Amino acid sequence: MLENEDFVKFANENVICVVGHNDTGHKAEVEDAKGKMSPGCALYPGMECKQHQDIYSEVGRPPDGMPKIELPNGVPNSWLVGPDGTVQKIEPADQQSAGKVQELLEALQKPAGKAIGWKDYEKLSSAFEAGAKAVEAGDWKAALVAYQQVEKKAGKMPASVGERLGKGVEALNAKVVEAFEALKAAEDVAQRDKDMKALRAKVSAKLGPKALPVLADIDAWLKANPAPKPAK
């Protein structure tokens, strides 16, 4: 079943696949023609034997809040876990049938609503990564551009995307608040005014209907601290 091309395509796009295998003696992938070593397990490409061995034991004693699978003694056995943590065993008679497993996966997905496909998830992850990197680098404008890309799609996606976006925006706002506070303390009044207006320009783009909360504080401060009149 795991070699069934249609199932592989379906699973890679729509499902999170996990394999537990309590043996570690699988032949490692070898050195390629350019001399590059590809470490890992030849049986489960992209994994190392230790990882599929660890999964075998992790599912039975997961950290708090994570779903638990009570593995029987015999193998193979297969399971489905819904986004809400519901665990469902696939009956032995069904587990080798790609069509039946796909049917069960789709049935469990249905009440949870649409999943984010792998391609969309990759795009989202890139945008989140770009946003976080820009925040770290102090490039507020670039961070807002990255989060705007997410915001445009968030409304049609699962709530998890909105939550993740909220955390990213919160971190961005906190960093801008730090920059705002530092600028307020600057002594050169003319330069301070110039820099404050530059900061405002960088963070004025809206995320959907909302601006960053710090923008209102900057505006209030600029109103209360008008630009000094040029000396005659």
Partner 1 sequence: MKRWLSPAALVLAVVLPWIATAQAKETEAAAIRWAHSWKEAVEMARDRNAVIFATFHKDN
What binding mask, one character per residue, do residues 175-214 give for partner 1 by CB under 8 A, x or -? ----------------------------------------
For partner 1, the binding residue among 29, 80, 132, 145 (CB under 8 A) is 80
Give the residue among 151, 156, 64 at the shortest CA–CA distance from 116: 156
CA distance linking residue 137 with residue 134, whole number of Å:
5
CA distance linking residue 58 with residue 207, whole number of Å:
40
What binding mask, one character per residue, do residues 99-128 give for partner 1 by CB under 8 A, x or -? --x---x--xx--xxxxx-x--x-------
For partner 1, the binding residue among 31, 37, 42, 54 (CB under 8 A) is 54
Candidate segments 48-56, 133-141, 168-176, 184-192, binder of partner 1 by CB under 8 A: 48-56
**Quick check: 162 and 171 in contact, CB under 8 A?**
no
- Those residues with Cβ within 8 angstroms of residue 178's Cβ, 6 or more apart along the chain or in another chain: none
- Those residues with Cβ within 8 angstroms of residue 92's Cβ, 6 or more apart along the chain or in another chain: 77
Q: How far is the CB of 113 from partner 1 (least distance, A)?
A: 6
For partner 1, the binding residue among 35, 46, 209, 230 (CB under 8 A) is 46
CA distance linking residue 153 with residue 121, whole number of Å:
11
Does residue number 135 form part of the binding site for partner 1 (CB under 8 A)?
no
Q: What angle do CA 121, 125, 129 make, to 5 degrees?
A: 175
The residue count for binding partner 1 (CB under 8 A) is 60
Q: How far is the CB of 131 from partner 1 (least distance, A)?
A: 15
How far from chain centre, in Å, is Cα 44?
24
- Token output for 66: 């994570």
Binding site for partner 1 (CB under 8 A): 2-3, 5, 8-9, 11-12, 14-23, 25, 44-47, 51-52, 54-56, 58-59, 62-63, 66-67, 69, 71, 75-83, 95, 101, 105, 108-109, 112-116, 118, 121, 158, 160-161, 164
